Amino acid sequence: MNQDVCVAAIQMVSSMQVQANCACAEQLVAKAAQAGAQIVALPEYFPLIGMREDGALQYAEADGEGPLQDFLRQLAIRHRIWLAGGTVPLRGDSSGKVRNSLLVFNPQGERVLRYDKVHLFSLERGSERYDESAVMEPGRDVCSFMTPFGHVGVALCYDLRFPELFRKFAGVDMIVLPAAFTYGTGQAHWEVLLRARAIENQCYLIASAQGGRHESGRNTWGQSMIVDPWGEILAQQAQGEGVVMAKCSVRRLQQVRAMLPALNHRVL
């Protein structure tokens, strides 16, 4: 990291109404920016959580153009922030499928990153059934971007369970992870996995989540949080809409890496 930076994880409980979700996101991002946040992350599926995965199909946009992409671009410009825009559905290569895409915009509104979710979630647990691959196609690339504050890696939700992806971020200063963990899986694994990913890469981790009972009936875990390179939770929120903020400190990052230089001891 080149300098300290204030970061914010936005937590939402998105409905089936895109316009209302965008209005909520705008209000929460404004609140974060007014409090001094310089990097802000929205949660996965911020524009819509519907009854089924195929709800995203009707809002799929071409890469580089569309109302959701314009909304995120203007939000970054208006508040002069680095904005990790949760996810938006972008049209895929396969007919009838989309990519679940995280777009990052700088304060000038320039898109500096597109990351397509690599690991697609599926679950069968009692009456709960999810299968993102039914309407989505996976990405292939691991992505990161540079800011004046430092080097930032990105991942999405289910990616969290695959440490081999995160090991490719060794040396980054922070990782941003928008998510929409189900209540049951989040209760069991969310915190321990987030802290592990921060600890093993000795970096900050900003996790922005969906958190609550949705209009569609889905129940998400929430617990948006910011974790430091030692695995300490700097700030978090259990459920409901809100802004989770903390300062990422250059001194703290350097202290942890100097005290326990595990990244320099890697063999494999």
Per-residue pLDDT of the chain (268 residues; tens, 9 = 90+): 999 999 999 999 999 999 999 999 999 999 999 999 999 999 999 999 976 666 778 899 999 999 999 999 999 999 999 999 999 999 998 778 999 999 999 999 999 999 999 999 998 887 778 899 999 999 999 999 999 999 999 999 999 999 999 999 999 999 999 999 999 999 999 999 999 999 999 999 999 999 999 998 899 999 999 999 999 999 999 999 999 999 999 999 999 999 999 999 999 8
Under 8 Å between Cβ of 11 and 209? yes
In this structure, what CATH number is given to the domain that contains residue 129?
3.60.110.10
Residues forming beta bridges with residue 249, ordered by sequence position: none
Comparing CA positions, the residue from 158, 151, 202 lying closest to residue 177 is 158
Between the alpha carbon of residue 67 and those of residues 22, 25, 90, the distances in Å are: 10, 14, 12
Pairing of strands 211-213, 204-209: unpaired
* pTM recorded for the entire structure: 0.97
Q: Which residues are marked as active site?
A: 44, 117, 157
Domain that holds residue 120: 5-265
Into how many domains does the chain fold?
1
